Structure 1
Amino acid sequence: MPDEQKKLFLLDANVIIHAHDYYYHMDRVPEFWRWLEFHAENGSIRMPLETIDEVQGGDKAQHASWAKSREIRDILVLQEEFDANLLNRVLDHGYGPDLNEIEIDKVGKDPFLVAYGLRDPDNRVVVSNEVPKPTARRKNRKVPNVCADMGVRCCNVYSLLHELDFRTDWRDHV
């Protein structure tokens, strides 16, 4: 039997932003940020370049500085070129055909995230804190809904924490 390929979790920018702003502030729970770095180093967690560039917060926001630092980018950024065919498929079938410039601007970088997941849907999981909204159309579609339509598994940060077994003493368990 061939070795089962390891899952790759692809993070949406909101995972980093919300973790810092709401529940795992870098000063209060530094273990979470080291845990992310550990899983980035071992290849379980990545962020597409297009997505990591959405992590914002100004010059003084710790999470933005963390995500923009060279050592984090070197281990966290998914080292792949985006596939224009997959991206167009996500745009056409996940959001709507013939999106205009305003709609494309509104969906932002989310289609890239889904397209990277679509590259290997059996082994990649998109992680987003967006709340599904099944009735949303075109530019207002949420990542979990687009992933479901495209056959890409999507979970929120809490499922990620469960699957990769985050705990504050995680180093004692690796």
Structure 2
Amino acid sequence: MLYLLDANVLITANNQYYALDAVPEFWDWMLHVAGAGHVKMPRETLAELKGGNAQKDALHAWAARQDVRDALALREDVDADLVRKVIAEGYAPDLRDDEYDLLGQDPFLIAHALRAPQDRVVVSMEVSKPSLARARRKVPDVCKTLNLRCRDTFQFLREMGFRTNWKT
């Protein structure tokens, strides 16, 4: 199984509960499972890990390291037809230009999962809100529409067996 991470998974982990300087085991484990091929980030979502405040700056520096990029980066180009399918079926077939700005990189993440739906799971911290429509839809709801599996960080960590003493 390949877990595809939304940038918000690592941003939220660093900002709220697994800060790089406080829980280095999480980040070492993340590199370990990424290097083993269980976790990847499409280039489009990996590029979202940018600085902006002190906590994000540490994450940006971590994500900029070559060993991190080598381990985490999904080395495949996105299929443009799948991106179009995600947008048309998951959001709306007639989005306006201003709505495209709201999508961010989510259609790319979901399109990468759609490439092999039996073997890939999207991981996102977005919370389902089925009442939202069009470009405001959340990743879990778009995944559900497209029959893709989606997990939040804690479901993913449980499925992957993360623990802080993972090396022992």
Q: TM-score band (shorter)?
A: over 0.9
Q: Does residue 1:123 correspond to 2:122, yes or no?
A: no
Aligned to 1:82: 78
Q: Does residue 1:100 correspond to 2:108, yes or no?
A: no
**What percentage of aligned pairs have identical amino acids?**
47
Aligned to 1:12: 6
SS across alignment from 1:166: coil
Mapped partners of 1:41, 1:59: distance in 2? 28
Aligned to 1:3: none
Amino acid in the other structure paired with 1:64: H
Structure 1 residue runs without a partner (length 5+): 1-6
Amino acid in the other structure paired with 1:43: G
Mapped partners of 2:121, 2:58: distance in 1? 26
**1:168 alignment partner, one of 141, 164, 168:** 164
Q: Does residue 1:114 correspond to 2:110, yes or no?
A: yes
Once the two structures are TM-superposed, the CA of residue 69 in structure 1 deviates from its matched residue by: 1.8
Mapped partners of 2:116, 2:14: distance in 1? 29
**1:57 alignment partner, one of 41, 51, 57:** 51
Once the two structures are TM-superposed, the CA of residue 139 in structure 1 deviates from its matched residue by: 1.1
Mapped partners of 1:53, 1:161: distance in 2? 23
Q: Does residue 1:30 correspond to 2:24, yes or no?
A: yes
**1:156 alignment partner, one of 147, 152, 155:** 152
Amino acid in the other structure paired with 1:147: C
SS across alignment from 1:47: strand
Mapped partners of 2:18, 2:24: distance in 1? 8
Per the normalisation by structure 2, the TM-score is 0.96
Alpha-carbon RMSD = 1.0
